[in-house]
Structure 1
Amino acid sequence: MDAEALRTFVAVTETGQFQAAADELGISQQAVSKRIAALERHLEVTLLVRTSRGSRLSLDGQVFLPYAKKVLTALERAEQAVRPGSRPLRIDVLNRRIAPAQAVYRFYRSHPQMNLDAVTLSNENAAQAAQAVLEGTVDASFRALPAEQLPAGINAERLLDIPLELLVGPAHPLADAPRARPADLAGHRIWIPGIRPGTEWAAFYHALSKDFGLSIDALGPNFGDEALMDALADSASLATLVGSGDRYLWPQTYDLRRIPLHDPTPLYPHVLLSRSGVQHPVLTALREHLRTAGPRTPDDVWVPDWVTREQMTDLTDTP
């Protein structure tokens, strides 16, 4: 059934005349007549009775009118629900403690009028998350994905590069160091529970280990972040790596130390994935926020070799 024919039928009943309905709809009287005639043929009934004073509803028209209005109301609500900006921007932040979630949270704090919904596709790797974006399960996702693995129809923007820091307990040999080089970590056990084969973070830490001769593992059960903090506080040899924008909490008595890495500074390249052509105003505002309010990139950085030269160029050009 033609929605425009329904809209024309309701306009005629409200104005009482074909010409008045035509003026209201911005079409010709002939177009109004054609739409009404087509609707009546489709329903096989007469909806409007023409008179010298205009038109009036037939008995069938009186029965049909309230249903026609309900259909038009439902259509209007459906259109409004998916119109850009009418529904929340649904964005995958991978983990609520790490930098992307914190960046989205700061964006929301500075733009409380923006309508968004942060979710975590925690069981998905980068390729699966990109597919979820492509299929519309989420509008956007922060991931580290090589350019050659991007599916067609996905836009990728490297907008959030996060420097890594070493996190250790007070008895660790590097606990009092103001800074450390990645090469200084050779020979120290770096424990990052939760690394799963096939994920982008597994590929990232494998590349980091290979390039600097580090011992990074995920051995043992993962009892969560709190258990990791417990282990660091009690150990003189254990360390982990966290992003400078990651939000971890521990009791003050643990006296854990966050030590910046430099010479070079390892960066985790969070890429914002979205469907090509998406015009959601909240996504546009988030992009602009990350470009202007994101962390400054150090001069001397390391990223995995699967981060392309083009991505590096984008990184240096971003304010």
Structure 2
Amino acid sequence: MDLKAVRAFVAIADSGQFQKAAVDLGLTQQAVSKRIAALEKDLGVRLLVRTPRGADLTIDGQALLPHARVLLGAEERAVAAVRPGDRALRVDVVGRRAAPGGLVRDFHRAHPEIPLDVVTLFDGDTAVAAVRDGAVDATFRAVTLPGHRLPDGIAALPVLDEALRLCVGPGHVFARAASVTPAQLAGHRIWMPGNVPGTEWHAYYEDFAAAFGPAVDTIGPNFGLEALLDTIAGSPDLATFLSERTPHVWPAGHDLRLVPLRDPTPVYPHSLLWRTDNAHPGLTALREHLVATRPRPPEGELWLPSWAKRTPGRSASPAA
């Protein structure tokens, strides 16, 4: 059905007059009459009968009226679902327990009036494609992967340089160290079963291993963070990387240690990506919040891959 004609029919049913309906719709009476005639032709029934006082519904018109209201209500909901500001801001955070998830939670606390729809897409290519195609409004990613460039119309805003910590059990050689340099990790086994090739974090740790020499081991089934920490706690040889900004809970008996990495401090560069033509006001509020609350980068020399986007003040990568 032509919803414009349906709207004219409902307006006449509510007002009882073609002329009053035309005024309410901002149309001429002739235009309203043409819409009703077209609707009656499409349906093959008479919907209205003109009277000296206006117009009355026929039996078919009475039968159609409640369905016509449903159609117009569905149209209003459909428009509202895609109207910027009327729908939830859809954001991809990779993992809800990862640092970007914390950034979005902080934004929600500051702006509870902005509805959010938080999703967890896996890899960077999928997330960038979702932003490009309008499936999500924004994503948090490390940009850009080697050999990749962002599609035209997609912008990136650096929002967090997340310092890495070395996570070891109580029997590890670095368990009692106040800090460790990345160079000291040469030859040591870093176990990361969730480090999947083709992802931006795999590219990050591949560059890190090339620069400083640790053996990043991705072999083994990924049973999740808890199982990983169980293994690290009981091993004198295995270590992994974690962040103080990512919430972790482990049994007290594990006695795990988060050892700072210094000289340089490796940081994982999180950026917010979005389409520049996206007019959702919640997206503007999110960007402004991230700029206003962006944590200061760690002090001292920093390391990040040569392919990562940089902002003024970041230290150059020795691998660049």
User: What range describes the TM-score normalised by the shorter chain of this pair?
Assistant: 0.7 to 0.9
Structure 1 residues 273-282 or 297-306, which shifts more? Answer: 273-282
Once the two structures are superposed, what CA deviation does each residue of 1:218-269 show, in whole Å capped at 9, x if it has no partner? 2333333223222332233332111331122112232222222233222212
Instruction: Kindly provide the amino acid, as one letter, of the partner of residue 138 in structure 2.
Output: A
Q: 3-state SS of the aligned residue for 1:312?
A: coil
Distance 2:43 2:185 in 1: 78
Q: 3-state SS of the aligned residue for 2:140?
A: strand
Once the two structures are superposed, what CA deviation does each residue of 1:285-307 show, in whole Å capped at 9, x if it has no partner? 33222222232123532221112
Which structure: greater helix fraction?
1
Q: 3-state SS of the aligned residue for 2:143?
A: coil
Q: TM-score, normalised by structure 1?
A: 0.85
Structure 1 alignment gaps of length 5 or more? none
Once the two structures are superposed, what CA deviation does each residue of 1:199-229 show, in whole Å capped at 9, x if it has no partner? 2111110111112233222233333322322
Q: 1:312 aligns to what?
A: 311
Check the 8 A contact 1:189/1:216 in 2, yes or no. yes
Check the 8 A contact 1:169/1:254 in 2, yes or no. yes
Q: Give the superposition deviation at 1:31.
A: 3.1
Q: TM-score, normalised by structure 2?
A: 0.85
Distance 2:90 2:252 in 1: 35
Q: 2:151 aligns to what?
A: 151
Check the 8 A contact 1:160/1:269 in 2, yes or no. yes
Q: Give the superposition deviation at 1:25.
A: 2.1
Distance 2:144 2:313 in 1: 14
Q: How does 1:235-250 map to 2 (within 5 A)?
A: 235-250=235-250
Once the two structures are superposed, what CA deviation does each residue of 1:56-103 show, in whole Å capped at 9, x if it has no partner? 223443333232222112212222333334443333322233211222
Number of residue pairs matched by the alignment: 312
Check the 8 A contact 2:142/2:271 in 1, yes or no. yes
Distance 1:63 1:96 in 2: 50
Q: 1:67 aligns to what?
A: 67
Check the 8 A contact 2:88/2:115 in 1, yes or no. yes
1:260 lines up with 2:263 in the alignment: no
Once the two structures are superposed, what CA deviation does each residue of 1:108-166 show, in whole Å capped at 9, x if it has no partner? 33433432233323xx4211222233344444322223173433454433323211111
Q: Give the superposition deviation at 1:192.
A: 1.8
Q: 1:116 aligns to what?
A: 116
Distance 1:224 1:64 in 2: 56
Q: How does 1:113-262 map to 2 (within 5 A)?
A: 113-121=113-121, 124-146=122-144, 148-262=148-262
Distance 2:62 2:196 in 1: 64
Q: How does 1:298-309 map to 2 (within 5 A)?
A: 298=298, 300-308=301-309
Instruction: Kindly provide the amino acid, as one letter, of the partner of residue 302 in structure 1.
Output: W
* Identity over aligned pairs, percent: 53
Distance 2:97 2:69 in 1: 48
Compute the RMSD of aligned alpha carbons.
2.7
Check the 8 A contact 2:302/2:314 in 1, yes or no. no
Check the 8 A contact 2:170/2:256 in 1, yes or no. yes
Q: 3-state SS of the aligned residue for 1:19?
A: helix
Q: 1:280 aligns to what?
A: 280
Instruction: Kindly provide the amino acid, as one letter, of the partner of residue 142 in structure 1.
Output: F
Structure 2 alignment gaps of length 5 or more? 316-320
Check the 8 A contact 2:16/2:55 in 1, yes or no. yes
Distance 2:12 2:55 in 1: 8
Distance 2:220 2:80 in 1: 50
Check the 8 A contact 1:162/1:295 in 2, yes or no. no
Check the 8 A contact 1:189/1:238 in 2, yes or no. yes
Instruction: Kindly provide the amino acid, as one letter, of the partner of residue 255 in structure 1.
Output: D
Distance 1:95 1:204 in 2: 17
